[in-house]
Chains A and B, each alone.
Chain A
Amino acid sequence: MTAPLLVFGWGNLSRGDDALGPMFIRHLRAQVRAQVRAQVRARSGDAGAHRVEFLEDYQLQVEHALDLAGRERVLFVDASVDCAAPFEATVLQPARDSGVTTHAMSPAAVMQVFRDVHHAEPPPCTLLAIRGETFELGEPPGESALANLGLAVGWGVRWVGGPP
């Protein structure tokens, strides 16, 4: 059964703040699971862990359009040099890309591929852009990026618990 919510983070763990996307996935997944365990202990019913699927990858690609199928809502998460700190959340619309290499896609283009492959509108998608500063090979994420990540994960918890 397809989970109604998808959280998809991407980035390279070996490139400084580029790791923010996959790190967000790991932190948010841990928090959601912890909430589920707490609610099970309190016998407060279905905490909804099965309602969320977490995926991570290096880059967005065309086949990720298939991961959007059957979702109620989708959250894309990436590091960004363009957004204001600590993060920005933007509602996405399908759009096209243009480039010289196969090595990257935008989330809006993934939505457009969904539209054209499935001949239907993609589910509502939001981009969570987390401010990053340095992207050097072999470097860990910077302190300011990690602080931004912490705030973004808090926002992510609310997104998961929000109305569909």
Chain B
Amino acid sequence: MTFNLETAAAPKGLRRVAIDPVTRVEGHGKVTILLDEQNRVKQVRLHIVEFRGFEKFIEGRPYWEVPVMVQRLCGICPVSHHLAASKAMDQVLGARPVTPSAEKIRRLMHYGQIMQSHALHFFYLASPDLLFGFDSDLNLRNIIGVAQAHPEIARKGVLLRKFGQEVIRVTAGKRVHGTGSVPGGMNKHVSRADRDALARDVPQMLEWAQDAVKLVRQLHAQNAALYDRFASVRANMMSLVRADGAMDLYDGVLRARDARGGIIFDGASDQSYLDLIEEEVRPWTYMKFPHLRSLGRDKGWYRVGPLARVQNCDFIPSPLAEAERREFVAWGKGAPVHATLAYHWARMVEMLHTVEVIGALLDDPGILDGDLMAGGERQSEGVGVIEAPRGTLIHHYRVDANDLVTMCNLIVATTHNNQAMNEAVRAVAREYLDGNELTEGLLNRIEVAIRAFDPCLSCATHALGQMPLDVTLLGPDGELIDHVLKSHRGEMVRNLDAPAGLPG
């Protein structure tokens, strides 16, 4: 069995549209669409390639190198990989739990990471679409346009992210390639000077984070029909929660709910993730499709990340964010919210929570003093699960008697969300792609759906001179009908002579 619009019944003779980011490394993301003679959508696939080979890159290395090495997976959330690997290696060392001081400093680092990533996503990537609409002038729909129309928003976004980066620097030790977290604990406290400097800025960050939640809530209220319908996909939801059901982004037990909000499983140990999740390979993409074993591949796919977390928990353990969570839940009128654009609202609720947590941890003397390292009985295997900015992140390692990694398995948020992202793109194609000429507005609707998830399309690399989108329209016999290149500056150029993007 296949999912609706995943595979056309008779692909021969269908026209093919490929939306294809071109990078210099490998195909990181591409959308292909097949249309019939009446321009009806017959097949839509989002292909994502990432982390191919990274697990092999880790195998054979000493376990103590891993929390530093894995930061090279991603330039946006290296701290999530740093801490997930550390948590897995804590298990290997038998250091569970780590000391209270170590956990508090790690939490501070992690919540700083979530904060800076959410700020970047909302202010830099998402707010132009939300503030100006999907069909607005391209020149408006970027942070420069936002800055011109809402000058304070751009400044707040940059400074919120900068604050989160500073939290990372004082806990991880460096702005890049931090070494603060190690298997078994932490290797440094937070200095009083750093603590005091950060604490001074917390009230301002709280005010700006509250403004951001209010803004996105107002946007939903102003155009409820669009926000509730666009790319809406009913899905199961999975995340870590604290044992008492509270939101916890650093540690906890695994919980999954169905699309109606009912519990599928709860209180599950992160060490048993393989009993809960199965990864499926499909022939048309390198990226795996995880699903909940108990429900099977067709009914067991799920979403992770802010939209799942805000609705999967019973409450948020900080007052301002909890009040906002209640507003969010009320929007669903008793049912879970499945609108893809609601990711942005949930993301800002979480950002507010992270600032509240950062403020509380900065007031905690445990980050300045106390034992940093724990130990225990050496194990041969460990799993570390953490809620990264985009969702649940799983690191799983086996380590031999020579302290070398013999097995590494990573499941990142973008992989968990693979089916949900595909379904969101299909929902957009069904509603908006009507076989018309490829227009910037159409491309942007597909991009808007992908942007809501903010997938790790270019993890572990970047590209100078990249072309984010390369769109080709082929006729029934494979002849080139249209070819649009969209530069990283957003300029669209039709060029039938230019070589098309990636194959496949």
Contacts and interface: CB of A to CB of B under 8 A. Distances in A.
Interface size on B, as a range, is: 35 or more
A100 B143 contact: no
Contacts of B162: 63, 66
Nearest to B463: A104
A140 to B, nearest CB: 13
A37 interface: no
Contacts of B468: 98-100
Interface stretch (A11-19, A46-54, A141-149, A152-160): A11-19
B24 interface: yes
A109 B459 CA distance: 20
A81 to B, nearest CB: 4
A66 B469 CA distance: 29
Interface in B139-180: 139, 141-145, 147-148, 151, 154-155, 157-158, 161-162, 165, 175-176
A101 B125 contact: yes
Interface residues on A, range: 35 or more
A58 B124 CA distance: 18
Contact of B142 (A10, A59, A98, A138): A98
A23 B145 CA distance: 35
Contacts of B229: none
A56 B75 contact: no
Interface stretch (B202-210, B251-259, B484-492): B484-492
B76 A59 contact: yes
B138 A82 contact: no
Interface of B: 21, 24-25, 29, 52-54, 56-57, 69, 72, 74-76, 78, 117, 120-121, 123-125, 138-139, 141-145, 147-148, 151, 154-155, 157-158, 161-162, 165, 175-176, 447, 450-451, 454-466, 468-469, 486-490
10 contacts: A12-B75, A12-B460, A78-B464, A82-B464, A98-B490, A101-B457, A102-B120, A103-B458, A113-B143, A119-B151
Interface of A: 10-15, 18, 56-63, 65-66, 78-83, 95-104, 106, 108-109, 112-113, 116-117, 119, 129, 135, 137-138
Given A62-B123, A116-B144, 4 more contacts: A98-B142, A101-B29, A137-B460, A138-B56
